[in-house]
Structure 1
Amino acid sequence: MGTSSGWRRRTRVRRTWRTRPRKEPTTATVPDRPLLRTGDGQLPHFIYFVLSRDVVTLVKSILFHRRNPLHFHFITDTVANQILSNLFQSWMVPSVQVSFYDADELKSEVSWIPNKHYSGIYGLMKLTLTKALPSDLSKVIVLDTDITFATDIAELWAIFKKFTEKQVIGLVENQSDWYLGNLWKNHKPWPALGRGFNTGVILLYLERLRRIGWEQMWRLTAERELMNMLSTSLADQDIFNAFIKQNPVLVHQLPCFWNVQLSDHTRSEQCYTEVSDLKVIHWNSPKKLRVKNKHVEFFRNLYLTFLEYDGNLLRRELFGCPSQQLQVALEELDEDDQCYEFRRERITVHRVHLYFLQYEYTPTDDDTDVTLVAQLSMDRLQMLEAICKHWEGPISLALYMSDAEAQQFLRYAQASEVLKNRKNVGYHIVYKEGQFYPVNLVRNVALRNVNTPYVFLTDVDFLPMYGLYEYLRKSIVQLDMANTKKALVVPAFETLRYRLSFPKSKAELLSMLDMGTLYTFRYHVWTKGHAPTDYAKWRTATTPYKVEWEADFEPYVVVRRDCPEYDQRFVGFGWNKVSHIMELDAQEYDLVVLPNAFMIHMPHAPSFDISKFRSSPSYRYCLTTLKDEFHQDLSRKYGSAALKYLTAQRNI
């Protein structure tokens, strides 16, 4: 089965680089076990063209109602493949298969057709399905992504059984007057049978289409009509309708409630008596939720329900057989362990939606580019605009949010002039699950999706000094980081004032330190965290200087992208950065403090996790237990060189 408003809105992610296109479809199956079949011995199949956030809402509505295994097919570019394959793999929805096909290999099939529709070339790709999909795939449902299901899609699949022997395409009649040619003076649509048909929902009998020579037939139809029409106005829909006009016996007309079309000029209200009768709602207008209809509030609320619906609830098992891999991992845990919840968090798989907003990045020529990497939740959104003003380089942000919060963030970003105009910020949603904030897992999502050779590992509640991006790029060259293992330390400071006149130079910062407007970071509550930076030396330093690791050191650093990832056993508050710096030291990274760099922590309310750390003896006990286990793992990994960490810990 499939869609196309994804095809109508090319994925909101674009990069200038491309990996080599795949010649064969890649498949991700969740979980790895036999799938049940539908009555005719076939697994229902769905096809999507290009991807956007919309496809997730459509998929949610399908999964919410379904009672059978499903197979989704996506025709995508490389980046869209990355986004959706990662999403489905991390979603872990039982009894769902997902396959991907390279859209770039299909463009030549339709690029010769002039098209005035806003969907562009992707609006024509439904025509290529007999060639794009596996030859043993006999039937599919094709869907636009601006669709919401209100029933089990298996009911639609069952209509294939009602096809006559000659019928190959199932469609709902067009609910506007477009093909009648009376919308305005001199309106000249493509030929169609009566009102024509809407291609937002299509039942395609691929096996029969191949048998009658579909590829040659639609091409001949398009070539013939283009001699007179010059271009398509409604993309594939024009060609499908011209083909059906010549071959009416091949179409099976679906009941109109399978594609209730909500554009301003449709007759959709004549399609149903009660809204409860509807099966599929199709927002087939560029205006989408702003169309006029007497039941538009009902439709909008249904759409918003799935938009903000907790996707974790769709992981429910259909047949009572939980994922074998997860089951084994759970059985290995001791439920009587005082730290069971911490260990349970480590095997929790969080859904991840990469590049939630449009992203564009062009690599620099000198291989010195550096990405600011951070993570955040809803209570830190207010920092984003300020960070974008202080840092002009690329940014990779992982946001820990619920489905509803992700939509609030989307509205916030779309309303911000600063964020709207920054395309080199990659926003990656890690969806909430469990009782802990998986801070290091979220950091790793941001770190893995960096495109530059170097990363600046920071926290979102810090503002970098103005010009830090260019200063770091110059330092990367001067300190030969391409050929040495260095972690460049950016000294951290803090203010207790919500309104701060941000220092424009080191000299101005030192003056503010002396006046008590600024302080060295955490000097009054956690001195050990940054004391090895040696702020006294930094005051007069004019060249970079090396410092030694000390227990509990947790500076903010610039390193190569291939640095160790954060240890994901640490969740919530405590030791999440300390453990990372310790592993950098174990791998013999030199810690080098930059003499003319600084960052300032802005005040905010304490997080829920730090409050839990302060109030719960059990929490603190488990954190100590995790520290001990981390030390043991470090010793096994790095041998006797790691003994100093255990010794240092015992001397604290």
Structure 2
Amino acid sequence: MFVSLELQRSVGLTLHACVSQLIHVACVCAGHNASRDVVTLVKSVLFHRRNPLHFHFITDSVASRILSSLFQSWMVPSVQVSFYDAEELKSEVSWIPNKHYSGIYGLMKLTLTKALPSDLAKVIVLDTDITFATDIAELWGIFKKFTDKQVIGLVENQSDWYLGNLWKNHRPWPALGRGFNTGVILLYLERLRRISWEQMWRLTAERELMSMLSTSLADQDIFNAFIKQNPVLVHQLPCFWNVQLSDHTRSEQCYTEVSDLKVIHWNSPKKLRVKNKHVEFFRNLYLTFLEYDGNLLRRELFGCPSQASPESLQAALEDLDEDDQCYDFRRERLTVHRVHLYFLQYEYTPTEDDTDVTLVAQLSMDRLQMLEAICKHWEGPISLALYMSDAEAQQFLRYAQASEVLKNRKNVGYHIVYKEGQFYPVNLVRNVALRNANTPYVFLTDVDFLPMYGLYDYLRKSVVQLDMAHTKKALVVPAFETLRYRLSFPKSKAELLSMLDMGTLYTFRYHVWPKGHAPTNYAKWRTATTPYKVEWESDFEPYVVVRRDCPEYDQRFVGFGWNKVSHIMELDAQEYDLMVLPNAFMIHMPHAPSFDISKFRSSASYRNCLNTLKDEFHQDLSRKYGATALKYLTAQRNI
């Protein structure tokens, strides 16, 4: 039933050794948006906490994939995470008609006694739109205040919903007084099982549905109807444990000073635009955690073992020589970056013919303006890894939501790789984009290139014509460049050749790095009508279409230099045929030089370390592929 991510084991922690009590937190989280929201909640909890935590997530397949990857890469000390398949719980609640926008997932909290481990005695249950302003251990401590009969802890509802008469014919479910809000719940699971909770809430729901016909507020309606019948079972929490921010609440009467607040609940569709005299304070608190650097939450807990990293990683770090002039480069290779997959809504339906191609690229904040143009030039699926800080990721989110082009494209997977360290881990970021492509073939490119119009369809046809399903081929898409920021993009090969002759376009990097693309043989390409094979040459770094199971990029290469060269070399070592496509092209658009190329140009030690890494890569290649790899070393020495 449940899949556990044993982060406890993977980071070498023994939570029982911690002085503090382990606190259990449960959340229902489904889809891309909720997965993004829950991260802000988790950050606020981690920021204040002094105890080890165990998060229990009831998820659909989307949220499970996103959050498992995030927590594995986050590596927060003294945190365990478990996932429970919502699909297996749907039959428990699917019979209940529900008008709430949360759909069937809004009813899942009713199933927690069944979903969570049978030996779990207590749990704090939270909605995803919650922000903590204090240590969650304070809330956990309230379990001790329960009487022997109390099984549920809730805050009173701060709107008039359950009082009725909000509008003509408004008829809410039965509730005790103002009713209770289920955004924050203390569930005494052990006691709930003893009183046959599953049977009791079902009977309550069946009885009320005979007259109410459906729920309007999902699980909250059923909890309230149950409590109305069994008031002795509820422990009313002080209202500052769930300050409900919507226009129709009495939340302002719940506290005198904002410093009294413990938990803020953004339970309004308008979120940050609600009417409240302290809304600015609430907004700032929320934004603080939204943009807070999650790396800072990897800190150790007092009284818990200090080793936060897996033992293998710890050993590798200890093996590094801090006096090595290339220490920073080697340290970078061992840095574990947090990864948030599918940051935005993503939908993709595989094609029936197994020829589909995903455009794969990576970028940082300074290349964001390329995204709309790429989406206009490439209608197929796209996998993008974005190297950003937490704050930049939120800027990107606002940019994407405001863009008519981007918000209408659902087949683009955006994967955030969070910034850490002093180099741009370009190949690590590329690998994140590559691993999360969902098609049999990938077009490995850079975000500052615009594909020719129609390239997507042309590549799919080429995949069939060149029998890529049964042969090892890398299809080369010839690269060109313009120095003009405004370009009338060529609509055909003939038009491109004309622009090449007029000097509006050039072969890519011909004036600064001709070796990178010279083997493409542009002279032959001008008149070619069929694909032609080219041989690998030193420093060749074309943009290629390959099967998705191709080798990954070598992650020792960071910043500028040799990141693509090493990849093409390994493709050649694996005996991929390099085939140039006669009717394909892409054009590099001008932009300011990156920070990394500036470092490469200005620092002799940077260039020396790159040479050292090249030598080590050659040695590793020789060990991996034997005598056939010697030609790369020879080629390098002949330069």
Maintained 8 Å contact 1:376/1:398: yes
After superposing the two structures, state which structure 1 stretch, 537-546 or 77-86, moved more. 77-86
Equivalent position of 1:422 in the other structure? 409
The C-alpha deviation readout for 1:504-560, integer Å capped at 9, x for no partner, is 000000000000000000000000000000000000000000000000000000000
Equivalent position of 1:291 in the other structure? 274
Q: Secondary structure at the match of 2:16?
A: coil
TM-aligned CA deviation for residue 326 of structure 1: 3.6
Maintained 8 Å contact 2:20/2:50: no
The C-alpha deviation readout for 1:46-79, integer Å capped at 9, x for no partner, is xxxxxx2110000000000000100000111122
Residues of 1 paired with 2:182 and 2:111: CA distance? Answer: 14
TM-aligned CA deviation for residue 41 of structure 1: 8.9
TM-aligned CA deviation for residue 323 of structure 1: 6.4
Residues of 1 paired with 2:612 and 2:20: CA distance? Answer: 53
The C-alpha deviation readout for 1:271-308, integer Å capped at 9, x for no partner, is 00000000000011111111110100100000000000
Maintained 8 Å contact 1:146/1:282: yes
Residues of 1 paired with 2:283 and 2:563: CA distance? Answer: 42
TM-aligned CA deviation for residue 187 of structure 1: 1.3
TM-aligned CA deviation for residue 320 of structure 1: 7.4
The C-alpha deviation readout for 1:408-448, integer Å capped at 9, x for no partner, is 00000000000000000000000000000000000000000
Question: Quick one: structure 1 residues 211 and 40, their matched pair in 2 at CA, closer, same or farther if it must change by over 3 Å?
Answer: farther
Residues of 2 paired with 1:606 and 1:323: CA distance? Answer: 41
Residues of 2 paired with 1:55 and 1:323: CA distance? Answer: 27
Question: Quick one: structure 1 residues 39 and 521, their matched pair in 2 at CA, closer, same or farther if it must change by over 3 Å?
Answer: closer
Maintained 8 Å contact 1:370/1:456: yes
Q: How does 1:168-247 map to 2 (within 5 A)?
A: 168-247=151-230
The C-alpha deviation readout for 1:77-126, integer Å capped at 9, x for no partner, is 12211100000000010000000000000001000000111111110000
The C-alpha deviation readout for 1:578-597, integer Å capped at 9, x for no partner, is 00000000000000000000
Maintained 8 Å contact 2:20/2:52: no
Question: Quick one: structure 1 residues 602 and 392, their matched pair in 2 at CA, closer, same or farther if it must change by over 3 Å?
Answer: same
Maintained 8 Å contact 1:54/1:145: yes
Residues of 2 paired with 1:223 and 1:434: CA distance? Answer: 57
Maintained 8 Å contact 1:380/1:461: yes
Q: Secondary structure at the match of 2:51?
A: coil
After superposing the two structures, state which structure 1 stretch, 176-185 or 62-71, moved more. 176-185
The C-alpha deviation readout for 1:8-37, integer Å capped at 9, x for no partner, is xxxxxxxxxxxxxxxxxxxxxxxxxxxx46
Q: Secondary structure at the match of 1:37?
A: helix
Q: Secondary structure at the match of 2:443?
A: strand
TM-aligned CA deviation for residue 43 of structure 1: 2.1
Maintained 8 Å contact 2:17/2:305: no
After superposing the two structures, state which structure 1 stretch, 324-333 or 129-138, moved more. 324-333
Q: How does 1:527-538 map to 2 (within 5 A)?
A: 527-538=514-525
Equivalent position of 2:557 in the other structure? 570
Residues of 1 paired with 2:402 and 2:159: CA distance? Answer: 33
TM-aligned CA deviation for residue 40 of structure 1: 11
Equivalent position of 2:115 in the other structure? 132
Q: Secondary structure at the match of 1:75?
A: strand
**Aligned with residue 333 of structure 2, among 327, 346, 349:** 346
TM-aligned CA deviation for residue 327 of structure 1: 2.8
TM-aligned CA deviation for residue 494 of structure 1: 0.2
Maintained 8 Å contact 1:37/1:69: no
The C-alpha deviation readout for 1:553-577, integer Å capped at 9, x for no partner, is 0000000000000000000000000
Question: Quick one: structure 1 residues 322 and 531, their matched pair in 2 at CA, closer, same or farther if it must change by over 3 Å?
Answer: farther
Maintained 8 Å contact 1:262/1:281: yes
TM-aligned CA deviation for residue 318 of structure 1: 1.2
Question: Quick one: structure 1 residues 223 and 335, their matched pair in 2 at CA, closer, same or farther if it must change by over 3 Å?
Answer: same
Q: Secondary structure at the match of 1:474?
A: helix
Equivalent position of 1:444 in the other structure? 431
Question: Quick one: structure 1 residues 576 and 320, their matched pair in 2 at CA, closer, same or farther if it must change by over 3 Å?
Answer: farther
Question: Quick one: structure 1 residues 185 and 219, their matched pair in 2 at CA, closer, same or farther if it must change by over 3 Å?
Answer: same
Question: Quick one: structure 1 residues 180 and 40, their matched pair in 2 at CA, closer, same or farther if it must change by over 3 Å?
Answer: farther
Q: How does 1:605-620 map to 2 (within 5 A)?
A: 605-620=592-607
Residues of 2 paired with 1:531 and 1:471: CA distance? Answer: 23
Residues of 1 paired with 2:514 and 2:17: CA distance? Answer: 64
Residues of 2 paired with 1:451 and 1:179: CA distance? Answer: 47
Residues of 2 paired with 1:632 and 1:444: CA distance? Answer: 22
Maintained 8 Å contact 1:142/1:203: yes
Question: Quick one: structure 1 residues 441 and 39, their matched pair in 2 at CA, closer, same or farther if it must change by over 3 Å?
Answer: closer
Q: Secondary structure at the match of 1:125?
A: helix
Equivalent position of 1:519 in the other structure? 506
Equivalent position of 1:76 in the other structure? 59
Residues of 2 paired with 1:572 and 1:58: CA distance? Answer: 33
Equivalent position of 1:249 in the other structure? 232
Maintained 8 Å contact 1:83/1:355: yes
Q: Secondary structure at the match of 2:446?
A: coil
Maintained 8 Å contact 1:171/1:199: yes
Maintained 8 Å contact 2:18/2:303: no
TM-aligned CA deviation for residue 329 of structure 1: 1.9
Maintained 8 Å contact 1:115/1:121: yes
Q: Secondary structure at the match of 1:591?
A: strand
Question: Quick one: structure 1 residues 332 and 446, their matched pair in 2 at CA, closer, same or farther if it must change by over 3 Å?
Answer: same
Question: Quick one: structure 1 residues 37 and 274, their matched pair in 2 at CA, closer, same or farther if it must change by over 3 Å?
Answer: farther
Maintained 8 Å contact 1:146/1:283: yes
TM-aligned CA deviation for residue 321 of structure 1: 6.7
Residues of 2 paired with 1:149 and 1:193: CA distance? Answer: 27
Residues of 2 paired with 1:525 and 1:542: CA distance? Answer: 29
The C-alpha deviation readout for 1:137-158, integer Å capped at 9, x for no partner, is 1100000111100000000000
Equivalent position of 1:259 in the other structure? 242
Maintained 8 Å contact 2:18/2:304: no
After superposing the two structures, state which structure 1 stretch, 185-194 or 503-512, moved more. 185-194
Residues of 1 paired with 2:330 and 2:190: CA distance? Answer: 50
Maintained 8 Å contact 1:65/1:150: yes
Question: Quick one: structure 1 residues 617 and 90, their matched pair in 2 at CA, closer, same or farther if it must change by over 3 Å?
Answer: same
Question: Quick one: structure 1 residues 427 and 39, their matched pair in 2 at CA, closer, same or farther if it must change by over 3 Å?
Answer: closer
Residues of 1 paired with 2:610 and 2:17: CA distance? Answer: 50
Residues of 2 paired with 1:645 and 1:266: CA distance? Answer: 70
Maintained 8 Å contact 2:20/2:51: no
TM-aligned CA deviation for residue 38 of structure 1: 11
Q: What TM-score does the superposition give when structure 1 sets the normalisation length?
A: 0.93
**Aligned with residue 254 of structure 2, among 271, 282, 288:** 271
The C-alpha deviation readout for 1:219-245, integer Å capped at 9, x for no partner, is 000000000100001100000000000
Maintained 8 Å contact 1:38/1:44: no
Residues of 1 paired with 2:441 and 2:626: CA distance? Answer: 28
TM-aligned CA deviation for residue 322 of structure 1: 7.1
Maintained 8 Å contact 1:552/1:578: yes
Maintained 8 Å contact 1:91/1:350: yes
Indicate the RMSD between aligned Cα atoms, in angstroms: 1.2
TM-aligned CA deviation for residue 385 of structure 1: 0.2
TM-aligned CA deviation for residue 185 of structure 1: 2.3
Residues of 1 paired with 2:554 and 2:145: CA distance? Answer: 56
Residues of 2 paired with 1:41 and 1:116: CA distance? Answer: 42
Residues of 1 paired with 2:604 and 2:305: CA distance? Answer: 34
Q: Secondary structure at the match of 2:305?
A: coil
Question: Quick one: structure 1 residues 227 and 39, their matched pair in 2 at CA, closer, same or farther if it must change by over 3 Å?
Answer: farther
Q: Secondary structure at the match of 2:17?
A: coil
Maintained 8 Å contact 2:20/2:303: no
Q: Which runs of 5+ in 2 are unaligned?
A: 1-14, 25-34
Residues of 1 paired with 2:396 and 2:305: CA distance? Answer: 33
Question: Quick one: structure 1 residues 333 and 322, their matched pair in 2 at CA, closer, same or farther if it must change by over 3 Å?
Answer: farther
Question: Quick one: structure 1 residues 323 and 461, their matched pair in 2 at CA, closer, same or farther if it must change by over 3 Å?
Answer: farther
Residues of 1 paired with 2:412 and 2:606: CA distance? Answer: 35
Maintained 8 Å contact 1:488/1:591: yes
The C-alpha deviation readout for 1:475-504, integer Å capped at 9, x for no partner, is 000000000000000000000000000000
Identity between Structure 1 and Structure 2 (%)? 94
Residues of 1 paired with 2:622 and 2:304: CA distance? Answer: 39
Q: What TM-score does the superposition give when structure 2 sets the normalisation length?
A: 0.95
Residues of 2 paired with 1:576 and 1:467: CA distance? Answer: 28
Maintained 8 Å contact 1:401/1:431: yes
TM-aligned CA deviation for residue 180 of structure 1: 0.8
TM-aligned CA deviation for residue 42 of structure 1: 5.7
